[in-house]
Structure 1
Amino acid sequence: MVTRDAMVMRYGGVFALILTAGAAMAAEPGVGNALGCEHVAFVRAGVPGGLVGPAREACNGDPRDIRCCVAPDGALWMADSRDCVVWRIKDGQARIAAGCGVKGYRDGPADRAMFDFGVGSYCDVETNCDAAGNIYVSDMMNNAIRRIFKKPDGAWWVETVSGGGKKGRDPKKGEWVPASELRFGGASRFAVADDGTLYYANYGGIYQVKDGKGTRLATHEELSAQLGGRKALADWHVGGSHITPDGVFYWAPGGQEIFRFDTRAAGAGGASGKAELVAGEGPKQTDGATPRESGFHTVVVVYSRDASVIYTGGGDESVPRRIHKGAVRHLQKDGSFKPGNERDRDNWRLNQPVCLGPGGELYTFPGPYAWAGWLVRVTFGEEGR
């Protein structure tokens, strides 16, 4: 049973249940059917950002250029590459937590910091957090990954944790160099472990950054050999990276195929971890018999903590899909997930996933012909419901 004040809205013959603030679900969020959508933040896109206050009245520049993460305290952090600022949404209030709104490169007090995220058609920025609540964003026009954190005196601060320098060193596998000197100082998609260790795939291979130093875990040649000659490292636009608690790194270059790499053995005595294809060999936009036999077309990818649940969408696909227990399924009009393809699906026009919450709830930005500019949270029932 769902308790709510609700309204049913119709767009192009597609009905969706939009839950207002204070909605409560009887079932715990999980991997069952979609139960409803809640408007979390923002009302318009395509206008200058910066209007702060009540989250559902704030404005942002363009939802295609935004990625989010949920911090341990429940705050939602969002990097906005159109306006080069980072938002914090907590208790129904939205404010700009970092960035002065001017493109550039400057560390220091968060409200004076400068970012240059770049603007692309497929959301070229990433936001992640560690277990301590530190926030990390990819700042690729500056070839860097930046960290936003609270100092002991309560002031928010921005610092560069990888890249941003000019030396351009590319370490050999197992060789550690100052992170500020890395030639590939970051990637538009990267992952953060609980302890703040960074992982990312770029043209030179898979990299790890920890305690101010960086190394290469695997070279491009090693990965290509393990993956049957595939070009697994094109750092182009969409996709999504993730590191599981047990050290398995996922990445999806170009949003076409999803790969994983076991970092636990990588670098030890020159060894290379195992790399394998997870999904994406099939025809584009089609749910195959298995994830490998399914196909994706420049999608954004988000992961549950252990990567047992993966959602794709956005980019050149307008429908969220779920990868779970060896199956790929499209979201349907009735809230269920069923096999299909981009042309025969019935959907809620939720479009682009931006992150998963701790309870499995999916944050998305709908397409421009639905609730343009809204940040929406989708809640799911228990498996089988």
Structure 2
Amino acid sequence: MPLKNLNANPHHPASIKNSFFLLAIVALFIAACGNELEFNKVPASSAVSVSTLAGSGAQGSINSTGAYATFYQPTGVAVDAAGNVYVADFRNNLIRKISPTAAVTTFAGSTEGFANGTGTYALFNQPTGVAVDVAGNIYVADNINQLIRKISPAGVVTTLAGSGARGNANGPAAGASFNYPQGVAVDATGNVYVADYGNNLIRKISNTGMVTTLAGKDSAGANNGADTSATFNQPTGVAVDAAGNVYVADEGNNLIREISPAGVVSTFAGSGARGADNATGTKASFNGPTGVAVDASGNVYVADYGNNIVREITPAGVVTTLGVTGTTASKLFKGPYGIALDVAGNVYVADYGYNMILKISK
């Protein structure tokens, strides 16, 4: 599987070098401040604050409240209508749930492996992305198992799509194949979209259980165009708006792409060069974006992983750094990987390096 330089590469089950000194400092600082660590900074465009919703900063799988809970390199996050936050806890092979009162529990999973079942009787292998539908069902990109899993509100885990073999086969869900799927999103009618990282494709699982290629072909590139004439390079995050436009964090290309309901792929923002320039459309730059989310007004939010910042893109394509500017911004995050929104417009970030779930309140 393709690797990028890191400290931490959630695309590959390689060993990771972690800064235990930094984590210790973070944990001590949180303990000194209480359960909620607030970072109030000068806003770039609107008044926001960044706080720790859950996680001490130490690696672990402790279920507790707020900063007393622990995660191990979380990569995906989703929020339901009731304000519950679901986390793809990558290294722990778990799906965690954070209640509106910040109580952290294990929603599904236990050790590494594959098994369908209820709650902790189910098994995952390095889950990377999560999404939640209007009925409260959770969808999981089960990365190493090459599967898309579904969890009912009661915690019953099933396989939605994938045979378990690596590949790019379309067709009925059970016979389809993926290649290290990274991100998932679901629309209002129950269609599921998958950032198929290893295949450089965006896949669609219809609400009738058919898997198709929405856009891209099985080769890396940055071509815009219709359907399979377009190309991606390691797409990692995916989101869908109410109109059916699909947004893609095209990590290898340092771009945010848009797929129209007609299947036409365009570059929504980014020049393709690595950078952190705030500008409009293709004059802006990103550095390995991994997560993307969209609000009801059409604003797109990006986990700009390589820059350690969160970006906001207006419907007109104007890119800003959310809430903070300059070097201060990069100190708030250490590998922001997954991103999600609640109904009030608050932003949630799965911070891979800090082992935390952070909340950006507007």
Match of 1:323 in 2: 313
Count matched residues. 315
Could you tell me which of 56, 63, 71 is aligned with 1:60? 71
**What is the DSSP-based 3-state SS (H/G/I as helix, E as strand, rest coil) of the residue aligned with 1:111?**
helix
Per the TM alignment, residue 361 of structure 1 is displaced from its structure 2 partner at its CA by 1.1
Structure 1 unaligned regions, length at least 5? 1-9, 12-17, 24-30, 119-124, 172-176, 266-272, 338-343, 381-385
2:81 is matched with which residue?
72
Cα distance change of structure 1 residues 367 and 235 upon mapping to structure 2, 3 Å threshold: closer
Task: Tell me which amino acid in the other structure corresponds to 1:66.
Answer: T
| Deviating more after overlay: 217-226 vs 51-60 | 217-226
1:38 alignment counterpart: 51
**Residue 274 of structure 1, aligned match among 264, 287, 293:** 264
Per-residue CA distance 1:219-272 (angstroms, 9 max, x = gap): 528994628x99733336xx4201112111111222611111123x3xxxxxxx
The aligned residue for residue 18 of structure 2 is: none
String of CA shifts for 1:353-382, please: whole Å, max 9, x gaps. Answer: 6322221212235686xxx434221212xx
Match of 1:214 among 211, 216, 240: 211
* Post-superposition offset of 1:178: 1.2
1:23-55 deviations in Å (ceiling 9; x for gaps): 9xxxxxxx9523323331111323x31x21323
Partner of 1:164: 163
Residue type of the alignment partner of 2:300: I
Cα distance in 2 for residues equivalent to 1:241 and 1:135: 15
Letter in 1 for 2:213: R
Unaligned segments of structure 2, at least 5 residues: 1-24, 27-32, 39-43
Structure 1 169/73 Cα, relative in aligned 2: closer, same or farther at 3 Å?
A: same
1:79 Cα deviation (Å)?
1.0
Alpha-carbon deviation of 1:19? Answer: 9.6
Answering whether residue 104 of structure 2 is matched by residue 94 of structure 1, we say yes
2:139 equivalent to 1:136: yes
Q: Is the 8 A contact 2:224 2:267 kept in 1?
A: no
Given the superposition, is the C-alpha separation of residues 134 and 289 from structure 1 closer, same or farther in structure 2, using an over 3 Å criterion?
Answer: same
In 2, Cα distance between equivalents of 1:217 and 1:186: 17
- TM-score, normalised to structure 2, is 0.76
Is the contact made by 1:73 and 1:133 (CA closer than 8 Å) also made in structure 2?
no
Residue deviations 1:257-291 (CA, integer Å, cap 9, x gap)? 1111123x3xxxxxxx2211111116422325412
Match of 2:251 in 1: 254
Partner amino acid, structure 2, of 1:209: I
Aligned mates of 2:313, 2:289 — CA distance in 1? 13
Task: Determine if the alignment matches structure 1 residue 108 to structure 2 residue 117.
Answer: yes
Q: Which amino acid aligns with 2:233?
A: A
Q: Which amino acid aligns with 1:112?
A: Y
TM-score, normalised with respect to structure 1: 0.72
Q: Aligned partners of 1:169 and 1:321: how far apart in 2?
A: 31
**What is the alpha-carbon distance in structure 1 between the residues aligned to residue 256 and residue 304 of structure 2?**
15
| Aligned counterpart, 2:192 | 198
Root-mean-square deviation (CA, aligned residues, Å) is 3.3
8 Å CA contact 2:269–2:284 kept in 1: the answer is yes
Distance 1:179 1:329 in 2: 39
The answer on 1:301 being equivalent to 2:295 is no
The answer to whether the aligner puts 1:242 opposite 2:255 as a matched pair is: no
Contact 1:19 1:38 in 2 (8 A): no
